[in-house]
Amino acid sequence: MLLIFFLVTSSMDTDKGLMRQLPPLPDEKQQPMDIKQDHVMSIRLDAQDQLSLDGTLMTPRQLTEQLVQRVEQDRMEHVVSIETDRATTYEAYFHVQNAVVRAYATLRDQRARAVCGKPYAKLTAEEREDIDHYYPQRISEAPPKEKGGEP
């Protein structure tokens, strides 16, 4: 009886994780895309949690700033490629994911304010769809590699 009382009255911890919404399934089969290597922004997180963008070491804040600039310049053809090591910590991985999400959120909010005169969060579903199409999230995530090796 005491066990039942405890289970009914106690609160359970909620799960935590990345708040990401997957894109809807396409109506038709997608054709493979030819991606030019100069349009790929390669994010690497190594076993020591060192973050680099195209070989240049940086902080998550710097990553956000660089992504904002580069996605704005190459908005329809860019690809953000994320590669991690199996020894990468979850904390470092989450910082990278947050930096990428923050970059797209910044761009979309700026566009919403410029075009619609209000922040992205206050847009209608149709307006958001237009902004999302203007700055599409083009992210590719490779399976984690063994320390300095193959997946």
**pLDDT (tens digit per residue) in 50-74:** 999 999 999 999 999 999 999 999 8
**pLDDT (tens digit per residue) in 97-140:** 999 999 999 999 999 999 999 999 999 999 999 999 999 998 88
Q: Quick one: CA dihedral 115, 119, 122, 127, positive or negative?
A: positive
Taking the C-alpha atoms of residue 93 and residue 82, their distance in angstroms, rounded to an integer, is 10
Q: Provide the pLDDT for residue 148.
A: 57
Does 149 score more than 60 pLDDT?
A: no
Over residues 78-86, the mean pLDDT reads: 92
Burial class (CB in 10 A: 0-12, 13-18, 19+), 1: exposed
**pLDDT (tens digit per residue) in 7-50:** 666 665 555 555 655 556 666 665 666 667 778 999 999 999 99
Q: Provide the pLDDT for residue 116.
A: 94
Task: Give me the amino acid identity at 46.
Answer: D
Taking the C-alpha atoms of residue 120 and residue 111, their distance in angstroms, rounded to an integer, is 8
Angle at CA 72, nearest 5°, toward 41 and 36? 40
Q: Quick one: CA dihedral 47, 51, 101, 42, positive or negative?
A: negative
- Full-model pTM: 0.76
Quickly count: other Cβ atoms within 10 Å of residue 17's Cβ.
7
Angle at CA 9, nearest 5°, toward 3 and 12? 95
The CATH architecture annotation of domain 37-107 reads 2-Layer Sandwich (3.30)
Quickly count: other Cβ atoms within 10 Å of residue 29's Cβ.
5
